[in-house]
Structure 1
Amino acid sequence: MIKEKKSLKNTTSSRRKFFKTAAKAGAVAAATVAMPNIATAGSHAKTLKMQAAWPSGANIFFEMAGDYCKMVEEMSGGSLKIDLQPVGAVVKTSEIGQAVSSGVVDMGHWVTAYWYGKNPAASLFGTGPSYGMSSQEVMGWMEYGGGRKLYDETLAKVGFDYIGFFHMPMPAQPFGWFKKNVTKVSDVKGMKYRTVGLATNVLTAMGMVVRQLPGGEIQPAMKTGLIEAAEFNNPTSDSQFGMQDVSKHYHLGSFHQSQEMFEIPVNKKTYNSLSPAHQAILKNAAYAANSDNYFKALVRYSNDLAKLMNEHKVNVYQTSDAILAEQLKGWDKVIGDFTKKDAFFKKIVDSQKAYAKKVMKYLLMNQPNYKLAYENEFGPIGKVKI
């Protein structure tokens, strides 16, 4: 009996040692499984180089590019990073598309109007005619109305070898900064004015003398008299450029560029070398940045408009209906001219029109008069102090 009892005790002890050892082994195995992920996210992370068309520092567009990069890193758990460089760090703005295509940089951050010189159709993917659409609806056409296929065809036509993503549906851009309040078409005829893309053709058709200048050259050009009026994009960017120091008359809401969004080109070979998960992250981070950037823009743009009015004594106007109507006539002429001589351009325009005719009928009929609700609470919009 004593021997049997001893044997039972030894057996119990052995079992305890076995389970204790197994538990330790399990913990080690679990740690072994987890550790490679940590190493991948750290020392073996994939880093892509992106050059933006915007200067670093106080520039909301560069900040928004950075937002996208941060989302990519966070969504990948640190296994995919983007090294964001400012304008001119590697190539000039006009060279970004080719630099991405050839692999000099992996990615870019700009707008399609910046390669308008290679093919006017580029402007249709951001700074084209409205047909009642805002940037939100143009992006809807891109993803669900056949726009992406046409965009890819346009890239092939100009020789760009990249995959493109879009984000940040920009609010309608201001007509811009003038030396006086302009309300009639005759007020702007012959005026030296800065814009880019198809808007150059539209405003030329209105009788303006248009010059295409990079953002950083606009304010100095107005100061020296090279141009008499200019637009860039929004109250935040415009104030960061110091436009309030050369003009006190700011006209909002124009059809010359009533919709635009950022384009993120990614070198095709680089993109195809990534894992499906990383490819999905690059795509879906653009969707995430799309919403976040827009929410941020509404707050920042309205805050900076208030500063322009209250601190810098800038006079702010809504662009007159007379000028807006003339802009639409200009668009009719420009689009008519291009579609007559370019079948592919016409193909894109026809696609946009078909989408706008159906979608905007629903949207415009469904939307209540939001201005009526605003003025019911705050009074006439032109007299509201912010």
Structure 2
Amino acid sequence: MERRSFVGHAGLAGILAAGVAPAAHAQTTLRWRLASSFPKALDTIFGAAEVFAKKVSDMSGGKFQISVHAGGELMPPFGVVDGVQNATVEMAHTAPYYFFGKDETFAIGCAIPFGLNSRQMTAWQYEGNGLKLMREFYANYNIIHFPMGNTGAQMGGWYRKEIKSVADIKGLKMRIGGFAGKVLERMGGVPQNIPGGEIYQALEKGTIDAAEWVGPYDDQKLGFYKVAPFYHYPGWWEGGPQLDLYINTKAYNSLPAEYKAIIESASAFAHTEMQAKYDARNPAALTQLLANKAKLIQMPIPVMDLAFQESMALYSDLSNKNPNWKKVYSDYAAFRKEANRWFRYTEAFFDNYMQSKVNKL
């Protein structure tokens, strides 16, 4: 039988039985390293990189292996951009806003205060100009990125003392992720950028007055409720923070086309799975935290209003002095305006109505 005809009719099982290896398994074996910014204890965020690596291995028939290393194992948690840029490692998994000190534009690739929610962020990246614009920016760092995870809207953090007014923000030493610290600073707070694995100790010792991480599931694992009982909501700085897979551009360009396709598919799977985990696990974790005497409190509206005001003023200032920011943010803001107009009549109204009804059933 002619080989083309055989392949066309036999199917994969027949090909394997006949000893003809599919092209996907004919590639040279590769072994890459991925540096995470997160501790192994967080099976949600750190786990996304493990999910990704397993999918790459499965889809390549074991030919493409990626070892995943927790923050601090190969390099400091906040050193992964340098690691990928300098080809110390081929890959990293991180929250882009950690690196706003290099350029504030990094933050737009993750979350900025009063920004896009998770669905809107995914839409901007894949169907808007987000992927294009952020890749143009990351090219300055020898990096190509793929969206790889989103936590959904986050909580507003744990506080040793309740936040009752704007005055309570003055002098507040708070561990707050990345770029949001710029807004907190404008409000009179004192932001602290501390890796996830070090937050509990700082909060326990009183080195900081408050800390935010993600939400109930991860926060419970990290034990914040034991040393700071006031649990405010929402995290106005993180309506839909996206995690990214960073790949050294030269390393990525050296890959065969099928391995590039595998990376794209595996990262998209991990991207979806991360938020599914959070949405499934946060509700029960919140119930447990409340049973452990955590005090759930809405952030005062005057605090939210000041934060919004200072956020918009900051974005205007940055647009005047940072051309990278202006280029990306102008597109992001236009997308946000249109998306929120649509969500107002659909998701937002539906969700608000459901909250008023379901818990009464």
TM-score of the two chains, using structure 2 as the length reference: 0.89
Q: What SS does the corresponding residue of 1:105 show, helix, strand or coil?
A: coil
Say which of 70, 83, 100 aligns to 1:116: 100
Q: Residue 148 of structure 1 corresponds to which residue in structure 2?
A: 131
Say which of 18, 24, 33 aligns to 1:31: 18
1:319/1:79 CA distance change after superposition, 3 Å: same
Partner deviation per Cα, 1:306-347 (whole Å, 9 max, x = no partner): 21111x211112323222111101201211221122233122
**Pairs within 5 Å for 1:72-91:** 72-91=56-75
Alignment: residue pair count:
347
The amino acid across from 1:291 in the alignment is: T
Partner deviation per Cα, 1:248-278 (whole Å, 9 max, x = no partner): 1111212122221111011222212222111
The amino acid across from 1:60 in the alignment is: T
Matched, 1:322 2:309: no
The amino acid across from 1:71 in the alignment is: K
1:28/1:94 CA distance change after superposition, 3 Å: closer
Q: Residue 240 of structure 1 corresponds to which residue in structure 2?
A: 221
Structure 1 range deviating more: 71-80 or 283-292:
71-80
Matched, 1:137 2:124: no
Aligned-partner Cα distance in 1 for 2:196–2:15: 57
Say what the alpha-carbon RMSD is for the aligned residues. 2.3
Partner deviation per Cα, 1:41-100 (whole Å, 9 max, x = no partner): 8xx632221111112245431122211212222233323221111112211122211211
Q: Residue 342 of structure 1 corresponds to which residue in structure 2?
A: 322
Contact 2:24 2:61 in 1 (8 A): no
Aligned-partner Cα distance in 1 for 2:67–2:307: 40
Aligned-partner Cα distance in 2 for 1:222–1:263: 28
* Paired-residue identity, %: 26
Say which of 285, 296, 300 aligns to 2:281: 300
Q: What SS does the corresponding residue of 1:340 show, helix, strand or coil?
A: helix
The amino acid across from 1:47 in the alignment is: R
Aligned-partner Cα distance in 1 for 2:87–2:353: 52
1:360/1:28 CA distance change after superposition, 3 Å: closer
**Pairs within 5 Å for 1:35-54:** 45-54=29-38
Consecutive unaligned residues of structure 1, counting only runs of 5 or more, are 1-26
Matched, 1:277 2:258: yes
TM-score of the two chains, using structure 1 as the length reference: 0.83
Aligned-partner Cα distance in 2 for 1:29–1:211: 56
Contact 2:90 2:248 in 1 (8 A): yes
Contact 1:134 1:259 in 2 (8 A): yes
Say which of 194, 205, 224 aligns to 2:205: 224
Aligned-partner Cα distance in 2 for 1:305–1:256: 20
The amino acid across from 1:112 in the alignment is: P
Aligned-partner Cα distance in 2 for 1:256–1:192: 16
Contact 2:91 2:247 in 1 (8 A): yes
The amino acid across from 1:155 in the alignment is: Y
Aligned-partner Cα distance in 1 for 2:203–2:19: 63
Q: What SS does the corresponding residue of 1:369 show, helix, strand or coil?
A: helix
What is the CA-CA distance between 1:145 and the residue it aligns to?
1.9
Consecutive unaligned residues of structure 2, counting only runs of 5 or more, are 1-13
Aligned-partner Cα distance in 2 for 1:75–1:28: 17
Aligned-partner Cα distance in 2 for 1:148–1:29: 38
Say which of 163, 171, 185 aligns to 1:204: 185
